[in-house]
């Protein structure tokens, strides 16, 4: 559909631009990302058997790489549901790290951060819609149920045919046994 061909690149553009900019200069994002990375790594260290890297710049680069890769795939319409889901997962920590409006006392700065926070929330909403968009095709669940039902029907028909053949063969064998005796 034409709307998807236009909407996907528009939605992906901010992720592509932001990801490329961050890959070129990750140091600008490190101070804002540090509290979020610390929280995530502490939680992960408690729940996972392996130690998670604590290098904030590395996490910033990984996030930027996800934005560029998934943004490009989404803009091109390749794996749109998966790439939208990856972008949605990426925007949450970015928003929490970069737009902490609740920490600002200055009303103008607070308003600017709140505006960006809400903009990202809107992007997240669009990505979630895109992540569940089946483009008019039936969902995977529907297709799986349909395939299972068809397989069951086919198996039942095959079983009935085999049972009829077996009964016919049994009658034939009984006739031949009767003739032979």
Domains held by the chain: number: 2
Under DSSP, the state recorded for 142 is H
In degrees and rounded to multiples of 5, residue 50 shows phi and psi of: -110, 155
Cα(40)–Cα(33) distance, rounded to whole angstroms? Answer: 11
Model confidence at 54: pLDDT above 90: no
Q: How confident is the model at residue 81 (pLDDT cuts 50, 70, 90)?
A: very high
**Could you tell me the pTM of the whole model?**
0.71
3-class SS of residue 85: helix
Q: In this structure, are 97 and 128 located in the same domain?
A: yes
Q: In this structure, are 97 and 158 located in the same domain?
A: no
Q: In this structure, are 30 and 90 located in the same domain?
A: yes
Q: Which residues form the domain of 160?
A: 140-180
Give the E-state strand segments of 13-52 in sequence order.
none
Q: In this structure, are 115 and 155 located in the same domain?
A: no
Cα(80)–Cα(86) distance, rounded to whole angstroms? Answer: 10
What residues contact 150, with CB distance under 8 A and at least 6 apart?
Answer: none
Greatest Cα-to-Cα distance within the chain, rounded to the nearest angstrom? 108
38-61 average pLDDT score = 89
Q: How confident is the model at residue 116 (pLDDT cuts 50, 70, 90)?
A: very high
């Amino acid at each position: 559909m034409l709307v998807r061909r236009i909407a996907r690149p528009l939605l992906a553009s901010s992720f592509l631009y932001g990801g490329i900019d961050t890959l070129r200069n990750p140091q600008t994002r490190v101070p804002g990302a540090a509290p979020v990375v610390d929280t995530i790594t502490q939680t992960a260290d408690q729940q996972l058997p392996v130690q998670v890297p604590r290098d904030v710049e590395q996490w910033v680069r990984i996030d930027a790489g996800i934005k560029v890769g998934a943004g490009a795939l989404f803009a091109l319409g390749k794996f749109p549901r998966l790439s939208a889901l990856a972008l949605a997962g990426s925007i949450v920590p970015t928003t929490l790290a970069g737009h902490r409006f609740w920490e600002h006392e200055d009303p103008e700065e607070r308003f600017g951060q709140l505006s960006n926070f809400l903009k990202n929330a809107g992007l997240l909403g669009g990505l979630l819609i895109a992540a569940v968009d089946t483009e008019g095709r039936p969902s995977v669940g529907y297709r799986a149920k349909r395939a299972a039902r068809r397989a069951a029907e086919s198996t039942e028909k095959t079983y009935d045919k085999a049972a009829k053949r077996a009964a016919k063969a049994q009658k034939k064998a009984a006739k031949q046994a009767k003739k032979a005796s």
